[in-house]
Each structure stands twice: as C-alpha cells, then as structure tokens.
Structure 1
Amino acid sequence: MPKLLLLGKVEAYIIFNDNKHYNLNHDNIQQFHKQVKLAGLLISTGIVFGDIGTSPLYTLNALFHPGEVVDPVKALGILSCIIWTLTLQTTLKYILITLQADNNGEGGIFSLYTLIRRYFGKWSIVLAVMGGAFLIADGIITPPISVSSAIEGLQKVYPELNTVPIVIAIIVLLFVIQQLGTQQIGKFFGPVMLVWFSFIGIIGLRSAASNLAVFKALNPYYAYELLAHYPAGFWLLGGIFLCTTGAEALYSDMGHVGRNNIRVSWIYIKITLVLSYAGQTAWLIDNGVANEISPFYNIIPEAIYIPSVILASMATVIASQALISGCFTLVNEAIRLGLWPRNKVIFPGSIKGQMYIPFFNWFLMSACILTVLYFRESKNMEAAFGLSVTLTMLITTFLISLYLKIRRVPVVVITLITALFLSVEISFLIANLQKLHEGGWIMLVVGGLLTVVMLTWYNGKMAQSKLIATSQLSPLVLQKLMDLSTNAKIRNHATNLIYLTSTEKPGYVERRILDSIFNAPAKRADVYWFLHVHVTDEPYTMQYEAKVLAPNDVYQVVIRIGFRIEPKVDLFFRKIVTELIQRGELNYEKTEEKKYDRHDFGDYRFMITNSFLSYDNNLPYWKNLLIKSYYNLKLLGVQEDVNFGLDASNVVFERYPLVFEKSDEVRLERIQ
C-alpha cells in the first residue's frame, strides 16, 4: 500500500494524496508524454497500431471482387484515397490533434468526455455513451474479421479448407487466456509487430518495384478522379475506410505509452502501410484480374507463404488482444463514471492499468463467436466493421470540437477543422450505410443496444437517487448517536459501524441510514462512520477528507479516488483510522476484549443498504419503467462489497423499500 501523505490542518479535515507512487505529478506526466525512448517506440508498435496494421489483409479484398477486371483508374484512385485517408484521419486528426486532448495523461473517449462535461452539461454524455458503445461494437467485430482474414490465406494452399472452426478455436483461446493476464506474452507484442510491419513494407516495396507508376497515387488528383468521375466511385469509400480502422484505439492507449512515442513510431508504420497498399495495387494492375485470394497474399513469395500466414495470424491475435484490453479499460471507466453496471474487475498482473472483467470477457467472446458463425468469411464482415468505426470517429470529431472550444482555440480554426473531418467522415458514413443490408445493420443494433443500456443505467441511477431522502446530522441527532454509543444496556453491534453513503454533503446522510441505526433493534457501536466514495474525473487521484462530528463517536469521511484506481475501501478505511489515532483525533476506550485484538481500533462492520422499488408507490409510468429497468440491470453487476473491495466477513447487507409517493389509501369493506 502506498504511503499516505498528510496535508493541511488536522483539526477538522485530513487530506492525503499519493503522487509519488502513481507518478501523478503534472511535470512527470508531461515529461512522460514528451520523451521518446526505444522501449516506448517498441511498445507503441506492439499495442497501439495492431488494428490499423492488419487492415492491409482485407481492405483491397473488399474493393475488388473475384473475377473482376482491374481498371487502373479505379486501382490508382483507391490507393490515392487510402493514402489521403491515412493522412487526414489518422495523421492529422488523431496523431496531431486528438492526442493533445489528455485527461492527466490519459486518452480515450471517456477521458475526453470528462474534460468537457463540466462545460457543456449533461447532454454531452449522450455523445460519449454512443461513442463508447460503438467502440465496444468495434471490439466485437475486430477479432473475427482480423483472425478470419489471416486464416483465409491458407485457402490458397488448401482451397476447400473450412476456416470457421479454426477461427473460433483461436478466438476462444484468446479470451480464455485473458484471465491469466498479458504481462508475459505482452513482452512479445512489440518485437512481433515490428517484424510484421517491416515484412508488409518489404513485400509491398518488392511488388511495387514492378510497377513504380503506382506511386503517382500520392497525388490527391487520382482520389478526386475516382470519387467525382469513376462510375459509382463514391460508394467505394465504404471499403476504403477500412484502412484507418484502429485510429480510435490509438487515442485510448496514449496513457500507456506516451504521446510522442506514438507520434514518432507512426512515421515508420505509415510508410510500411503505404508500401503494402502500393504493392497490392501494383499486383492488381499487372495481373489484370482479381481472384478469390486477398491481394495481400498474392504478393507473398511462395517460398515463405506458410510462415507469412503464421506471422499474419500472430499479428491479428495481437491486434485483437490490444482491442480487448482496450474494451476492458473502456468498461472500467464507464463503471467508475456511473455509465455501466458494476462488474467485477480483476487486476491479474503487476502492470499498472492491466485489468480483466470476467462478465465482459465472456460477453465479448460469445458475441465474437456468433459474429463468425453468422458472417463466416471476412469479406462478409467488412460492412459491419466499417460502420461501427465510422460512427465512433464521427462522435469523436464532435467531442474534439467541444474540447477545442474550452481551450479557447479561435472559432474560425475550430470551424475549419470540424468541417474538414465531418465532410470526410460523413462521406464514409453515407457510403457505409448503403451496405446496411449486407450486415451493417448488426453493428447498428449492437451499438444501439449498448447505448440504451448505458443511458438507462445512468438515468435510472439518477432517478433512483432523487427518491432517496437525506437528513441533517443535527446536534439532536448527534446527541442521540452519542447516547446510543454509551448505552451499556444495549448489546454492542460492532466497535466501528461504517455506513456507505451516496452523499458527500457535509453533515448530511440518507434518512434510511438513521432509520437503520435507531429503529428496533437499535445498532449500538463505539464509533459511527459515514463514508462516501467519490470517483473523480482525474484517473489517479487518492485523497480522503475526514470530519469529526462528535469526537470518538461520529465521523464523516469522503474518499476521493481516480477512475483508474482500484477501490480498496476496506484497506483505505484501516489506513485512515490508524492515521486518525496517530494524530490524536480518535481515541478508543481500552476494554478487556481489546487486549487481544490485532487492531488498535477493534472490529468493524460495513453496513450496505440496498433499495428495492416498493409496491406501495404511485410513480408515473415512464419513471417506474426506468427505475425497474435500472434494478434489472443491477443483476448484471456485482454487489457493493465486491465493487468497493470490502472483506466479505466485515459486510452486513440491509434492504429497504424505495417509495416515491404512496398509493391512494385502499378502502376495504368488512363483511359479516
């Protein structure tokens, strides 16, 4: 446990903050993002660019159908669109602009949301939730399409091979090993992906050497010709967009590897990607006719074909692993921000930030398997893949424009930047929407359902909290607590009785807590604690505030932790009590039984009061439906003791009815 540092006066409030352990110092964070190290570049290559790095496996395959006679105008136009999509979307939007928007060093759509929500009200949460939902949908489609596109390379050698069982087996294995942590295999991500990018760049250059004219596509004129004059050229954007999938995950990983490490490594990665696409385009033009096998596999020499398929499979597994880990991080942030039901979060390794969420792991695995069984081949998944990523990027553009506004960037600059990205992304969206009937509707349904779940949870929680009455800890109430604490005629319930509260307002607690204490049988304790856990917008905050309401009898504590901190409230409480004793703000009566207690402060019990919607209610229909849906969603999560890291042996649960407005009095007629 990190050392707790005491700041300020101790008469009423105590605050600690552990910057040293988590490297939270602002200067350290900025230095981390400014530095460029070889290890950081290698890690960036391994975990940041996996998704975008495997897109050459399937992008051109989605644009040229088997048996199609290749028109050089179309081929060069597509290559030019790919190059400029990577330039505008990935380089300009994400590498240069979006990476500037960090929340204490952290990136990702929810980190971006926390930066703007205090300025733009609650409506901004809808954008963040939709972006998060479609990013999770991206996590469902990425493993199937990536692994399928790699394994399908074996069909060049074994034309009758059924790849579905192999793909499902790899996906199952991928999700099973999540619970073990990726600390060990993660060490190989960087070297393997470095080999992968070098490989696709070299074979791409080798193929392009036979037709160097393909590099004319660096001129955006060829992209314009395709979109403006080639028959149905605009609708090819749906497939072209696949080249930039993974850019959103790039932003989410900024906190792990550093801003400048991502930017510098992107230079090499973009060169290899362009060479790979150029080599595939050269083969298409020279061959004249597309075939069943992806152009990527057609440019690989026969002598190294099988090893290349193995390398491609490893790269797709790494890309999938990175996106799965990103989904875990995203869901954990959503839980901490009150946007998702509380799921159990496990930290399987010693790497900071590494986590595993069992419920979500098996949910993703099931969804990925169903995706493979439904689509069967990677070419059938392209429409669904492109649509989910396009929607996520569109939402990020809106959020970035709001962020630039609060940073006081000139309105003209914000307008130009937003207009540029929206024009590109709306064009991609329109092109992808025409493929709704080809499977794109599935990702709309998935993203829509996840959005509804998150908004229902958030609004249901807000509606429920408004029905919870609070009471002031007035001098009269405090006197009653002190009298109860010293009443030897009542059996002692615990030395320390800790109530988890939902309010951090000084001197106030929920009325149900006072009912729990005073209603028969009354709960006598030596010390009453009212404890609130507040999750901050900053990722690594660790602070607490303690207010003495009645010396040695009643204390109110607020623990503030960042949304990336594991909430070990049981451990935090023991540390806080120990420090208060050391500071002389808390003194326990020395009784005979405490001679044998291993703690200086005796035993303690966490009281958790869970509500249920009373039948004796007169709620409006829609509010009743919302709160009932909220309670149903709670079944997907875990209890507060697991969420807050409480020792089960120290927890007592109580249930109480939630009443909005009592129903009209029922009149029963008595008959003789």
Structure 2
Amino acid sequence: MSSHSHQNLHSKLSAAGLLITLGIIYGDIGTSPLYVMKAIIGDSPISKDLILGGLSCIFWTLTLQTTLKYVIITLSADNHGEGGIFALYALVKRTKIQWLIVPAIIGGSALLADGIITPPISVSSAVEGLRIFKPDIPTIPIVIAILFVLFTIQQFGTKLVGKFFAPMMLIWFSMLSVLGIIQMATNLSVFNAINPYYAYHLLTSNVSDQGFFILGAVFLCTTGAEALYSDMGHCGRKNIRISWIFVKSALVLNYFGQGAYLLSHQGKTLTELAKSNPNPFYLIMPDWFQPAGIVISTLAAVIASQALISGSFTLINEAMRLNFWPKVKIKFPTDVKGQLYIPSLNWMLFFGCVGIVIYFRESSNMEHAYGLAIILCMIMTTILLNFYLIMKRVKWYFIAPLILIYLTIEFSFLAANITKFKDGGFVTLFIALILIGIMSTWFLAKKISKNYTKIVKIDTYKKVLAELSVDLSIPKYATHLVYMTNATRTDEIEEKVMYSILQKRPKRADIYWFIHVNILSEPYKKEYRVTPIVEDDLYRVDFYLGFREPTKINLMFKEVIKDMVKKGEMDITSRYESLNKNNIIGDFKFVLSEKFLSNDSDLTFFENIVMNAYFFMKKFSLSEEKGFGLDSSSVKVEQFPMVLHPPEIIDMKRIECTTIN
C-alpha cells in the first residue's frame, strides 16, 4: 500500500467507513457499560455522592484518557497508516535509543494478556442477564460454548461476519443512548456529575468503602482505548475521530441513565434491588425489552471479543517481524488487507479464556482482575509517545506538561489497580510475565547469535566460486543454488555460507544466489533489488518488505527471475546439454542452515539461560523453510554448530613415541 493510499485512508470520510469503524474499533470500550457501574458501586449502599462521583470519574476519564490522549493525540502517531504499540515502537526505533525496546515488549505483552480476559468478562456480563428470567441458570457452559464458536469461526476470516458486525454495533449504541435518555428524563440532576468536584470528593472522602481505590473500577470504562489505537489501520483516523463523537455520546448517556435510575433508589444496595442479577445495566431496561436487550448485549459482547482476537493476531504478526516472537504459521483467510489468522495463537487464547471462565466463574470476580495489565500497556504507550513527540520536534513546553499529566493519571490508575493483584490481577500479570519472558528471550538470543556470526567479504571468494562453477571434476549440485543470508551489506556474506559451498561438501552450481530479507519499519511495502556480483555466476537479491507483509520468498523469488528473464538479464534454461536443447528450465535448490549450540561454546551464565530457552522455543516454532514460505521439495537443511565464545587455544605437548625393536 503506497503512502498516498494511506493518506487517503486517513483523510477519507464516508458513511460506510463510519459504519465499519463502529463494527471493528469500539467492541471493547463499547461494551463497558455492561459492568462499570456495577463494579463502582460494589456492595456499598447507593448514595448521591457515590453515584455523582462515579459518573464524574467516568466522564472525565473518557474525556482525558480516551478522547484527548488516544483519539486526538495518539492517533496522530501512525506508522504509514498503522497504529498500536509495536507500530509506535517501529517509529521511535529510529531515534536509536536502545532501551525503548523495554516499554514496547512490556506494553505488547500486557495488551495480549488482557486480551485473554476481555472475551470472558464481556460475554459473561451479557449472558448473566439470563438470570433475570431463570436465577439458577448455569452460565459457565453457555459462555464457554459462545467462546468456542467465536474462536472456531476465526479460520474463515471476518469478512462475512464483519458485514453483520457494523449494523449490530449501530443497534447496540443506539440502544445504549435510548435506554439512557429514558432514565435521565426522570432525573436531570444527574448532569451535575460533569462537575469534576464530585470526582475529587469521591476519591478523597469515605463516600465509598473503596475510597481512592474505586479508580480501579472506574478504569474499566477506558480499557478499550489501547485496542482502538491498535485497529487504526483498518478504518482510518478520520473515521475513528468522527464516529467517536457518536460512541462517546452513547456511552455517557447510558452511564448517566444508569446513574439517574440509581439516584431514585438511594440507601439500598444493588443486591436489594435485584437478587438474581444486580446489574444496573439490566435494571434500567423495561421488563418487556429485557429478552431483546440480553440478546443484543450478548451479540455486542461477542463482537467486542472479536475485535480483541483480531488485534492479537496483528500484534503477534508484528512481534514476529520485529524479532520478538518465534515464527509461527500465519494464514490469510480473505483478501482483506491486514486480515490474518494465526492458528496456534487462536487456540492458545481460547484455552486461556476458558481457564479464566472456570477460575473466576462470575463476571464480578473477573472485574477484580481486569485492568491491571492494560494500565501497564497505557503507561508504556505514554513513554513511547513522549519520544515520538520529541522526534516530531514538538516544543518541550508542550510535551512536558502533557506527558506529566498522563503519567500522573495513569500511575494513579495503576496504584488503584494494584489492589486487584490478590483478587485475581495476578492471573493477567502472570500471563504478561510469561509473554515478556518469551519476547525478551527471543530478541536477546537473536542479538547474541548475530554478535557471534562471522561475516566475510565476498571479494575473497569470487575467484574460487567462478572456478568451482566450471569444475567438471565435481558433480553438479544444482543449476541454481540459493542461500538465505542475514548479512546486510551486499559485499559481505556469513562465513558458514562459504563453508557450506566450499567445504561441507563442495557444491557446484551454474549460478549462486544470495537472498536477504529486510524488514522495514513501515507496514506495507514490497520492493526488491538485484546486485550482480559475478556476471552470470553470482547474484544477490535484497527484498524490502513491510512489517505486515507475508514472507513468501518462493513466490517472490520466482517473480524476480521472471522479471530478469523478461528483461534479458538471465537465461534460466538448464545448462545440461540434453535439457538445454529441449528448453527445459534449470532446477533451483535452496540451502538453509539450522543452528545448534556447539559443545565448544563457553557461555556466561546469562547467555546459557537465554540460548537454551531460545533453542527450546525453536522446537515449537515454524521451521526456517516454512517461515520463508519455501517449497520443501527444493530445500536442503544443513546443521551448523553455533560457537559462542570459542575456547582458548589448548596448549598441548606432543610426546615422541619410542620405537619398539
């Protein structure tokens, strides 16, 4: 996708675009009215200060955190149209500040970890509405069944389902608005909550038994803001900003409607209002509408989950391209740009979600665990955003107060959410820590491996390669022999490649090819360059691919050859006389080297842990040939020892043998 089409994506505004945005972007943040007010009130008796204070906190959180930070400021930080913490990291990486990888890995892992709790909490909150009609209904099997269907349909892509998503979310937000307006008409004093004094009063007095820590419940209203930024590439900045006006209005109207209803029941607790399902979201519905309301809520919750699953696929795809994650199989179920399916991640998320449902059982228990990981992600985004603004040469007197305000807000949320640790927050943090461990290990191992890869100048080997190519005393290995290389300079190659050609088993070929893949810090680009090193003997092809492009070297290399033949730069007819006469195309053979840790390596304790963990994870990751999209019938994989810190030269003394008469 060219930069011009990205410009179009972000400046294009259409009714269809706005509708699609509703279906894709707002699932997570849009379903928060299902559980936020319930979480804020908890077991406290309903009072004017508690309700107005809670609503004031929600209103200002949505205004400062979601609207100002994400919709207005962060959406401007797009990487050729794409958003999300890894896209932001790819942008600030240009500053050459090494440690920025830390917030990127922590943020990405935290976002993924919270992706495991969002589908269960949304679906459970919606399904629990059934208790209004049947108080003892077992909701766990229903929730797991819905999740199973949701994760099973991922492999078919969301193109078909997407057409249903957008109108459904339009119905959902319209329902939120109407329900809110009906309740507010009975009590307009609820609008006093716009005054931030009520938020301040709630947090600094003992109105609620949670005190300042009530912010942990308030934070649930903005958890989807990070996902909103991640999905920017699907809809465009302008569509998100305009549709957010409608979405925020619908959310505020519904929250205020719930508040108006609760103000007329002061002195009672939620369980006194409704024993079977004490959720103000369902209490504001007229009895006749409740069945339809539950169905709409459940569908909206499924869509919310879908948005997060798609976001997780995108996140892991980017992590692989940035060397943060082992190579895993990626499928492209539809021709929609950027839409992908990662089977291993899909089922990992599914079993994670089922584990959450079985462990917590109720949505109210999940609320205790929800939000702790995502606030870490938001803090990391703020840190990266700071460097993005510096990179964009924004004046320091604008950056400093802005970043300071957001770090204060977010660290306050973090402090309030820390109390959730013992109530289940440890679950998402534990998952995030495992993900941080995987990403850090993979990245460090790749770095260590690169540091100990010996690079040599191709010039030294030009003569011998040209002579080997015509040495008839060595049986021909292939017409075209292709090696993948990590050497970034065109005049260099790994020593192990030369060792494979000249020593491991001398490999005679008519033409040698070295292929290098450059992953760019922009999402969509497919370019290549051919460098003839020895005319008609040795060529190097450099591919320049965006970090969201699939690596299909087999197909791409065929296109390069086709283009070179068309331009008369290459004759790919077989060099065997009988085949040449009959215009048969020459054979292509790819040689890949698979490293294993040599026993001669003298590792430090830290390197030992990292490299052993790396080789363990490598067993479960995609093989090099599949990772590069090569046809296994034309690939030879060679085992190559990886020697880190070669041992000192062993000083040995020869003993002369005595002759025996």
Normalised to the residue count of structure 1, the TM-score between the two structures is 0.93
Verify: 1:550 aligned to 2:534, yes or no.
yes
1: CA distance, partners of 2:556 / 2:582: 23
1: CA distance, partners of 2:180 / 2:463: 80
8 Å contact 1:551–1:586 — kept in the other structure? Answer: no
- Give SS of 1:80's match: helix
1: CA distance, partners of 2:61 / 2:150: 31
Q: Which residue of 235, 248, 259 corresponds with 2:226?
A: 248
- Give SS of 2:115's match: helix
**Percent identity (aligned):** 45
Partner of 1:481: 465
2: CA distance, partners of 1:573 / 1:502: 17
Partner of 2:449: 464
Q: Which residue of 417, 420, 425 corresponds with 1:440?
A: 425
Partner of 1:143: 119
Structure 2's unaligned 5+ residue stretches are 272-276, 656-661
Partner of 1:200: 176
1:390-414: per-residue Cα shift (whole Å, max 9, x none)?
1111111111111111111111110
Partner of 1:650: 634
Matches for 1:129-528 after TM superposition, within 5 Å: 129-231=105-207, 232-288=210-266, 289=268, 290-291=270-271, 292-474=277-459, 476-528=460-512
Verify: 1:592 aligned to 2:585, yes or no.
no
1:261-317: per-residue Cα shift (whole Å, max 9, x none)?
000000011111011101111121212321242100011111121111111110000
- Give SS of 1:69's match: coil
8 Å contact 1:132–1:330 — kept in the other structure? Answer: yes
8 Å contact 2:59–2:252 — kept in the other structure? Answer: yes
Q: Structure 1 residue 594: deviation in Å? A: 3.9
- Give SS of 1:77's match: helix
8 Å contact 1:504–1:558 — kept in the other structure? Answer: no
8 Å contact 1:113–1:399 — kept in the other structure? Answer: yes
8 Å contact 2:53–2:200 — kept in the other structure? Answer: yes
8 Å contact 1:470–1:509 — kept in the other structure? Answer: yes
8 Å contact 1:207–1:283 — kept in the other structure? Answer: yes
Over 3 Å counting, the alpha-carbon distance change for 1:512 and 1:297 in structure 2 is same
- Give SS of 1:565's match: coil
Q: Structure 1 residue 488: deviation in Å? A: 2.4
Q: Structure 1 residue 667: deviation in Å? A: 8.2
Normalised to the residue count of structure 2, the TM-score between the two structures is 0.95
2: CA distance, partners of 1:63 / 1:224: 15
Q: Structure 1 residue 597: deviation in Å? A: 6.1
Over 3 Å counting, the alpha-carbon distance change for 1:624 and 1:65 in structure 2 is closer
Q: Structure 1 residue 662: deviation in Å? A: 4.0
1:500-554: per-residue Cα shift (whole Å, max 9, x none)?
0111212111111111111253111110001111111011121112111111110
Between 215-224 and 129-138, the greater mean CA deviation after superposition: 215-224
1:639-664: per-residue Cα shift (whole Å, max 9, x none)?
12111111122211111111124446
1: CA distance, partners of 2:431 / 2:580: 56
- Give SS of 1:605's match: strand
Partner of 1:119: 95
Amino acid at match of 2:98: K
1: CA distance, partners of 2:514 / 2:368: 53
Verify: 1:539 aligned to 2:544, yes or no.
no
Over 3 Å counting, the alpha-carbon distance change for 1:417 and 1:618 in structure 2 is same
1:91-139: per-residue Cα shift (whole Å, max 9, x none)?
0000100000011111111110011112142200111011000000111
Partner of 1:576: 560
- Give SS of 1:435's match: helix
8 Å contact 1:215–1:278 — kept in the other structure? Answer: yes
Over 3 Å counting, the alpha-carbon distance change for 1:379 and 1:666 in structure 2 is farther
1:57-90: per-residue Cα shift (whole Å, max 9, x none)?
0111112235x42011111100011011000001
Q: Structure 1 residue 224: deviation in Å? A: 1.6
Q: Structure 1 residue 36: deviation in Å? A: 1.1
Q: Structure 1 residue 580: deviation in Å? A: 2.1
2: CA distance, partners of 1:422 / 1:300: 38
Over 3 Å counting, the alpha-carbon distance change for 1:669 and 1:147 in structure 2 is farther
1: CA distance, partners of 2:167 / 2:546: 33
8 Å contact 2:41–2:50 — kept in the other structure? Answer: no
1: CA distance, partners of 2:521 / 2:559: 24
8 Å contact 2:169–2:300 — kept in the other structure? Answer: yes
Over 3 Å counting, the alpha-carbon distance change for 1:157 and 1:583 in structure 2 is same
Amino acid at match of 2:638: E
Partner of 1:65: 42
2: CA distance, partners of 1:132 / 1:424: 20
- Give SS of 1:287's match: coil
- Give SS of 2:543's match: strand
1:364-393: per-residue Cα shift (whole Å, max 9, x none)?
111111111111111111132111121111
1: CA distance, partners of 2:31 / 2:177: 12
8 Å contact 1:493–1:523 — kept in the other structure? Answer: yes
Verify: 1:43 aligned to 2:20, yes or no.
yes
- Give SS of 1:235's match: helix
Partner of 1:14: none
2: CA distance, partners of 1:172 / 1:255: 27
1: CA distance, partners of 2:626 / 2:47: 60
Aligned residues: CA RMSD: 1.8
- Give SS of 2:532's match: strand
8 Å contact 2:23–2:165 — kept in the other structure? Answer: yes
1:10-63: per-residue Cα shift (whole Å, max 9, x none)?
xxxxxxxxxxxx3x1x33322320121001100111110010000000111112
Over 3 Å counting, the alpha-carbon distance change for 1:182 and 1:594 in structure 2 is farther
Partner of 1:3: none
Amino acid at match of 2:220: L
1:602-655: per-residue Cα shift (whole Å, max 9, x none)?
210111101100112222222122111111121231012111111122211111
Partner of 1:18: none
- Give SS of 1:627's match: helix
Verify: 1:31 aligned to 2:8, yes or no.
yes
Q: Structure 1 residue 595: deviation in Å? A: 5.1
Over 3 Å counting, the alpha-carbon distance change for 1:212 and 1:506 in structure 2 is same
1: CA distance, partners of 2:463 / 2:350: 56
Over 3 Å counting, the alpha-carbon distance change for 1:668 and 1:657 in structure 2 is farther
1: CA distance, partners of 2:103 / 2:505: 48
Between 465-474 and 75-84, the greater mean CA deviation after superposition: 465-474
2: CA distance, partners of 1:304 / 1:656: 68
- Give SS of 1:184's match: helix
2: CA distance, partners of 1:542 / 1:242: 40
Over 3 Å counting, the alpha-carbon distance change for 1:595 and 1:128 in structure 2 is farther
- Give SS of 1:103's match: coil
1:185-220: per-residue Cα shift (whole Å, max 9, x none)?
111111000000000110111112111111111121
Q: Structure 1 residue 598: deviation in Å? A: 6.1
Amino acid at match of 2:429: L
Over 3 Å counting, the alpha-carbon distance change for 1:594 and 1:219 in structure 2 is farther
Amino acid at match of 1:324: I
8 Å contact 1:535–1:561 — kept in the other structure? Answer: yes
Partner of 1:13: none
